[in-house]
Amino acid sequence: MTEPALRIRGLSKSFDKPVITGLDLEIGAGQLYALLGPNGAGKTTTLRMVTGLTRPDAGTIHIYGISARQHPNEAKAITAWLPDEPMLYDKLTPSEYLAFVAGLWRMDPAVAAEEADRLLHWLDLWDERDTRCEGFSRGMKQKVALAGALIHDPKLLILDEPLTGLDAAMARAVKDALRAQVDAGKTVIVTTHILEVAERMADRIGIIAGGRLLAEGTLEELRTSAGTEGQTLEDTFIRLTSGA
Amino acid sequence: MAGLRPAPGGFAWLALHEIRLGWRMRPKKGAARWIGYALMLAWLGFGCFLGWVLRDEPIPPLPQIMTGVLAGSIVAFSFMTTQAIIGSQRTLYENGDLDLLFSAPIDGRTILLAKLLGITGSIALTYAVLLLTLVLPIAILGHPQLFGFVALLVALALAAAAIGLGITLGLAKLAGPRAARTVGQIAAALLGGAFFIISQLASHGDKRESSVTILFERFSEQGVGNSGLSGLPGHAAFGDPIAVIVLLGIGAGLFAVAGMTLQRMFLTGYQDGGTRLSRARPTGRATNRLFHAGLFRSVFAKEWRLLARDPALIFQILLRMIYLAPIVFIAFGRNDQVPMAPGLAFASVLLAGQLVGSFAWLTVSAEDAPDLIAVAPVSKATIDRAKLMAAFAMAAPMGLILPIAIALQSPLGALVTLACTAIGGAAAGYIELKLGKPAQRSAFAKRRSGSIVGGIMSIIVTAIFGGLAATSVYLIG
């Protein structure tokens, strides 16, 4: 039996009040998983704990069988994180940014340079590779950050609201890039407010509210559990979260 | 009470909004706030004590005091104008609320005047804390004529805000939108240091004194500051109604003229500032030349590039080094009494401490993408070491200058100085690493407000190693 891409057990986190309470979640490898929830549900907090940016109060996190709390660097080596605000340096060019990220992941320079060239072409950034990021649109910045997330060939790619603020063409490019990752056997986890995206792209969907996982499964499984057969994900989502 | 509230959308309403925003930008927590309050209370207590002691003593407007007020006003005005340029830049390029304000059905002139008043208020408040806490108790306890200092302060702040905005917008027009921010920052740094540098150059060859003292001496020699236009600040400070009216009139006039005439330039400056133009220069160079083996080289390359592309920041750092010069001479008394090499040894460590501390702040505390670093499969300690090494390497070329100069007199002394410089610099960097607070690179000028303890410790440590270096070099001969 293969290891799940992400296994979370009993995860809890409180700030001034409990944000995540005893969350259990398991996401199989090689799928695109959409984590949905109303504002303040705890989606971003959960993913920040998975990526090591926020320390959990309790619980375990395993990424492809590696304990993210006990062996953070091993877990980080196979993970990429793309927040809603791209983690960029305005004064660096896309090429320089990718070189820096490759250095952080200690990639072989020749391999990294080749991969950077491929990503810059693939994400249509080649002509802007020597232009500083400070003048880029949000969509361009998001693509540069996505290239940075992909350059070390992560097995698990986690994206927080990756399509927010992108125009249709940019959103299509990002969605194609995510689907290509899944087709290549990688695992992608996204949070999104755009339910149509989850409906059309996700292999499985998790709905989180009040720091707990309310429902999880394929779209059909969610509809069945919510009693909304034949209806949209939006109807299902509202039904499931209205009582939370 | 509702009738006293200003009408929404009007100048007074917007001005109150600006004041409220300014008030809420003060430090809300941490040691800095409480240390600030404690110092202010102590200063106020000192003012009350002085007021009590002087309550029955006459304070006549002696020529020396009048000249001193003029010298102090000139130096304060140069710093106020610097503050106004920085405030104008922040308003134009950093505050997000101009989008909201300009999209509202409010006259552009009203917005500009309210913003200008906000800048004036922050300038006046800075100096009020220093000056009025001392002067007002004396005025209240028996010398009401000294309330004139309030009028002098307000007049200077109004004029400085107007001139600062004019300089910012003029530079934006001359330099163009791409260079406007950088040129503005350099102009602010130059203006801030102008009086210091000019006064040091103009000072008598054998001694180094503060800018105010040098100006005071020059003015006293020439009998300036007691009558005519040069006497206005002194007379206003001592409550002369004519001088108060003239100075307030000049300040308010400049303020009004700036508000009336700069509206279009302000709008253009804001609109151009929002475009964030960038250099597009397809070099065609091979991408693989950018990729380095090893974490240290990647961190080095990134930190060097970020610094090299921020000329305003480099300029600020260099200017700070110039400011350090008199501290060295003050520490050793008169220039002609100080053996040269020990003085240079002390300066070398002080310089290195400041430089490494500044660069370490930039590389460690002012990291633009902390989350990227945090999700990388590298321990924080390793990254910090790489960044500290980068900071050290950035400072090294300048840190070598003075030991080389010492080597001309004493090669052994140069070696000792080099060792102390390296240790002092490393200690300053380590302190920044441990005590530095995350901040934006643009906040470089105020970086010490994030960690006062760190700043004090850094000065103490570099002074200790500087003293050790100076003593060693003196003993070596």
With a pLDDT cut of 90, the percent of chain A lying above it is 41
Q: Is the pLDDT of residue A26 over 90?
A: yes
Q: Do A108 and B293 touch (CB under 8 A)?
A: yes
Q: Is the pLDDT of residue B101 over 60?
A: yes
Complex ipTM: 0.76
Q: Residues near A95 by Cβ (< 8 Å), separated by ≥ 6?
A: A116, A120, A129, A130, B287, B290
Cα-to-chain-centroid distance, residue B238: 29
Q: Do B291 and A109 touch (CB under 8 A)?
A: yes
Q: Residues near B46 by Cβ (< 8 Å), separated by ≥ 6?
A: B134
Q: Do A90 and B368 touch (CB under 8 A)?
A: yes
Q: How confident is the model at residue A28 (pLDDT cuts 50, 70, 90)?
A: very high
With a pLDDT cut of 90, the percent of chain B lying above it is 12
Q: What is the mean pLDDT of residues B174-190?
A: 72
Q: Does A180 touch chain B (CB under 8 A)?
A: no
Q: Do B373 and A104 touch (CB under 8 A)?
A: yes
- pLDDT value of residue B276: 47
Q: Do B298 and A100 touch (CB under 8 A)?
A: yes
Residues of B in contact with A52 (CB under 8 A): 374-375
Helix, strand, or coil (residue B280)? strand
Nearest to B287 among A74, A129, A136 (CB): A129
Q: What is the 3-state secondary structure (H, E, C) of B309-372?
A: CCHHHHHHHHHHHHHHHHHHHHHHCCHHHCCHHHHHHHHHHHHHHHHHHHHHHHHHHCCCCHHH
Q: Give the least confident one: A168-182, B24-38, B70-84, B192-206.
A: B192-206
Rounded to the nearest 10 degrees, how much is the dihedral formed by the CA atoms of B72, B77, B82, B83? 90
Q: What is the mean pLDDT of residues B202-206?
A: 53
Q: Give the least confident one: A140-154, B252-266, B326-340.
A: B326-340
Q: Does A62 touch chain B (CB under 8 A)?
A: no
Cα A196 from Cα A25, distance rounded (Å): 23
- pLDDT value of residue B304: 86
Q: Is the pLDDT of residue A241 over 60?
A: yes
Q: Does A108 touch chain B (CB under 8 A)?
A: yes
Other CB atoms within 10 Å distance of the CB of residue A176? 12
Q: Does A144 touch chain B (CB under 8 A)?
A: no
Q: Do B288 and A110 touch (CB under 8 A)?
A: yes
Q: What is the mean pLDDT of residues B301-325?
A: 76
In this structure, what token pair is assigned to residue B230? 């040069």
Best residue in A48, A54, A104 to probe B by mutation, most B CBs within 10 Å?
A: A104
- pLDDT value of residue B151: 94
Q: Does A24 touch chain B (CB under 8 A)?
A: no
Q: Do A51 and B375 touch (CB under 8 A)?
A: yes
> pLDDT (tens digit, 9 = 90+) per residue, A164-212?
777 788 888 888 889 999 999 999 999 987 888 888 889 999 999 888 8
- pLDDT value of residue B285: 52
> pLDDT (tens digit, 9 = 90+) per residue, B47-68?
999 999 988 888 888 888 888 8
Q: What is the mean pLDDT of residues B362-372?
A: 85
In this structure, what token pair is assigned to residue B429? 């960097």
Q: Does A96 touch chain B (CB under 8 A)?
A: yes
Chain A segment 75-94 residues within 8 A of B by beta carbon are: 75-77, 79-81, 83, 87-92
Write down the residue that tokens 């070598």 correspond to.
B400
Residues of B in contact with A121 (CB under 8 A): none
Nearest to B287 among A52, A117, A128 (CB): A117
Helix, strand, or coil (residue B469)? helix
In this structure, what token pair is assigned to residue A59? 């619980």
Residues B372-408 as b/e (b if ≥16 CB within 10 A, e otherwise) read: bbbbbbbeeeebbebbbbbbbebbeebbeebbebbbe
- pLDDT value of residue B333: 47
Q: Is the pLDDT of residue A80 over 70?
A: yes
Q: What is the mean pLDDT of chain A?
A: 88
Cα A150 from Cα A118, distance rounded (Å): 11
> pLDDT (tens digit, 9 = 90+) per residue, B397-432?
888 888 888 888 888 888 998 999 899 888 888 888
- Residue B374 distance to chain A (closest CA, Å): 6
What is the value of pTM for the model shown?
A: 0.68
Considering only alpha carbons, which residue of chain A is nearest residue B311? A91
Q: Is the pLDDT of residue A116 over 90?
A: yes
Helix, strand, or coil (residue B235)? helix
Which residues of chain B have a Cβ shorter than 8 Å from any chain A Cβ?
276-283, 285-288, 290-295, 297-299, 301-302, 305-306, 309-310, 368-369, 371-379
Q: What is the mean pLDDT of residues B183-188?
A: 75
Q: What is the 3-state secondary structure (H, E, C) of chain A?
A: CCCCCEEEEEEEEECCCEEEEEEEEEECCCCEEEEECCCCCCHHHHHHHHCCCCCCCEEEEEECCEECCCCHHHHHHCEEEECCCCCCCCCCCHHHHHHHHHHHCCCCHHHHHHHHHHHHHHCCCHHHCCECHHHCCHHHHHHHHHHHHHCCCCCEEEEECCCCCCCHHHHHHHHHHHHHHHHCCCEEEEECCCHHHHHHHCCEEEEEECCEEEEEECHHHHHHHHCCCCCCHHHHHHHHHHCC
Q: What is the mean pLDDT of residues B377-403?
A: 86
Nearest to B371 among A83, A96, A108 (CB): A83
Cα maximum dimension of chain A: 54
- pLDDT value of residue A204: 93
Q: Do B377 and A106 touch (CB under 8 A)?
A: yes
Residues of B in contact with A91 (CB under 8 A): 305-306, 309-310
Residues of A in contact with B311 (CB under 8 A): none
Q: Give the least confident one: B14-23, B349-358, B445-454.
A: B445-454
Nearest to A112 among B286, B291, B295 (CB): B291
> pLDDT (tens digit, 9 = 90+) per residue, B231-281?
899 999 998 999 999 999 999 999 989 888 887 777 776 766 554 444 545
> pLDDT (tens digit, 9 = 90+) per residue, B112-159?
888 888 888 888 888 888 888 889 999 998 899 999 999 999 999 999
Q: Give the least confident one: A32-36, A57-61, B361-365, B435-439.
A: B435-439
Nearest to B290 among A88, A99, A110 (CB): A99
Best residue in A78, A89, A128, A144 to probe B by mutation, most B CBs within 10 Å?
A: A89
